[in-house]
Amino acid sequence: MASEHPRANLPPLSLHVPEPRFRPGDPVDFAAVDVPAAGSARRPDTATPAGEFHELAYTLVRVLDDDGQAVGPWDPKLSPDMLRRMLRSMVQLRAFDERMFRAQRQGKTSFYMKALGEEAVAIAAAYALDRDDMCFPSYRQQGLLIARGYPLVEMMNQIYSNSGDKLGGKQLPIMYSAKDFGFFSISGNLTTQYPQAVGWAMASAAQGDTRIAATWCGEGSTAEGDFHSACTFAAVYRAPVVLNVVNNQWAISSFSGFAGAEATTFAARAVGYGIAGLRVDGNDALAVYAATQWAAERARTNQGPTLIEHFTYRAEGHSTSDDPTQYRSAGEPNAWPLGDPVRRLKDHLIAVGEWDEERHAAQDKEVAEEVKAAQKEAEKNGILGHGLHQPLDSLFDGVFEEMPWHLKEQRQQMLDEETASGRPWARK
């Protein structure tokens, strides 16, 4: 073929197709992952222009060292009480995930997504932000709701699409929406939350408000056009927003190389837009807290947006519909060089004499009981697939303020067909 080409004297073009380092059955060695020492990254004043610390987009902001001590300029110097609250929220999130994953396996719901290994990302950010800052999460930041004290029963009602589900059974399980908790509706369409967060932040500034926005997407999602248009708007208008990229190495079965990780970091996206960029150890709750607090301070003082890459690892499958043993080595989660975020925060509290193994074990038990009790409560409202938990004619509600004539007709047709079939559809 090549010889028939009119310009056969030129070398043939070829494409680079990224390939993950480890496949099922391969031994895992993450020695090539560069892990700078805790405390080694400098912390510029929050008023420093974004162009003066580009190196922070290529390193890792880390606070917790291998001995469990908090070191360096990014140490947020949190009180032991605050550290214990963060730890408890992370433990709650893990217990909640565990129980809901099992509920899906037991056929009580159709779908669940865990945040195992990424607990610090959402929990530490929730504590660093103000309670009334507006969050635009992806589907893996349920930790925001847990840290803000949203009732676990309400989350479960949504997961079960039962009669207690505030969203009326209209959303896929785990796609929560909680306006009162500053938690924007989760969308299944990746990265739509990015321009929404920037738009909200711009509106907040345009109205002279003081609240800022924060948003999260996965590293795979940075390939979406929405990510880039959001960054442009945020940069141009210096929108008061914190843009988080959760680099957990995987986008379902595609490794981060397919979103550009072989060429540069995700935090480096910020450099091209003239946005402040930070790359952070996402398994270090103190580093996530410090980076979020720093970025929030910049936003609050009209220094503009910050893009934070949280370098972490998705320790479980993408969702209950996924089987990671089919595409990656089972050794990866345990070999991940940044460790387990829960264990690291726990070790820190123990190292500073503010926690011990007995208290931790007791808390684990207490939290497991709390989640179990919430589940029992939620199941009183029904589980997915067992009966019609929402009145059938409510299917069309909540979209338009005034229902258009064609939807009224369709609703009537549906109800007529149900009546003719003899099924009980009536509004309770």
Ligand X SMILES: Cc1ncc(C[n+]2csc(CCOP(=O)(O)OP(=O)(O)O)c2C)c(N)n1
Q: What are the catalytic residues? A: 314, 318, 327
Q: Closest approach of Cβ 306 to ligand X, in Å? A: 19
Query: Which listed residue (72, 164, 182, 218) binds ligand X by CB under 6 A?
Result: 218
- DSSP summary character for residue 333: H
Note the helical H segments in 283-356.
285-300, 332-335, 341-351
- DSSP summary character for residue 167: T
Nearer to ligand X, 168 or 260 (CB): 260
For 4-25, give one letter per residue: b (16+ CB within 10 A) or e: eeeeeeeeeeeeeeeebebeee
- Angstrom distance (rounded) from CA 410 to CA 404: 10
Q: Tokens 């409202």 correspond to what residue? A: 381
**Residues recorded for the chain:** 428
Cβ atoms within 10 Å of 199's Cβ, excluding its own: 17
Report what 306 binds from Mg ion, ligand X, none; CB cut-off 5-8 Å by kind: none
Report what 389 binds from ligand X, Mg ion, none; CB cut-off 5-8 Å by kind: none
If one asks whether residue 117 binds Mg ion (CB under 5 A), the answer comes out as no
Only segment of 39-47, 188-196, 346-354, 415-423 that touches ligand X (CB under 6 A): 188-196
If one asks whether residue 346 binds ligand X (CB under 6 A), the answer comes out as no
- DSSP summary character for residue 276: E
Report what 147 binds from Mg ion, ligand X, none; CB cut-off 5-8 Å by kind: none
Maximum C-alpha span of the chain: 78
If one asks whether residue 312 binds Mg ion (CB under 5 A), the answer comes out as no
For residue 366, give Cα distances in angstroms to 91, 139, 202, 361, 374: 10, 26, 42, 9, 12
Report what 421 binds from Mg ion, ligand X, none; CB cut-off 5-8 Å by kind: none
If one asks whether residue 314 binds ligand X (CB under 6 A), the answer comes out as yes
If one asks whether residue 137 binds ligand X (CB under 6 A), the answer comes out as no
If one asks whether residue 251 binds Mg ion (CB under 5 A), the answer comes out as yes
- Per-residue mark of binding to ligand X, 190-209 (x: CB under 6 A): x-------------------
If one asks whether residue 189 binds ligand X (CB under 6 A), the answer comes out as yes
If one asks whether residue 252 binds ligand X (CB under 6 A), the answer comes out as yes
- Which 232-251 positions form the footprint of ligand X (CB under 6 A)? 246, 248, 250-251
Query: Which listed residue (248, 265, 293, 306) binds Mg ion by CB under 5 A?
Result: 248
If one asks whether residue 375 binds Mg ion (CB under 5 A), the answer comes out as no
- Which 63-122 positions form the footprint of ligand X (CB under 6 A)? none
Q: Closest approach of Cβ 179 to ligand X, in Å? A: 23
Question: Do 192 and 226 touch, CB atoms closer than 8 A?
Answer: yes
- Angstrom distance (rounded) from CA 192 to CA 227: 8
Residue of minimal Cβ distance to ligand X: 218
- Which 211-230 positions form the footprint of Mg ion (CB under 5 A)? 218-220
Show Cβ contacts of residue 208 under 8 Å, excluding neighbours closer than 6 positions.
Answer: none
Q: Closest approach of Cβ 220 to ligand X, in Å? A: 3
Report what 252 binds from Mg ion, ligand X, none; CB cut-off 5-8 Å by kind: ligand X
Question: Do 97 and 174 touch, CB atoms closer than 8 A?
Answer: no
By C-alpha distance, which of 116, 125, 123, 119 is closest to 147?
123
| Measured CA angle at 226 (ends 220, 232), to 5 deg | 115
If one asks whether residue 122 binds Mg ion (CB under 5 A), the answer comes out as no
Interface with ligand X (CB under 6 A): 138, 140, 188-190, 217-221, 246, 248, 250-252, 314, 318
The site for Mg ion (CB under 5 A) is made up of 218-220, 248, 251
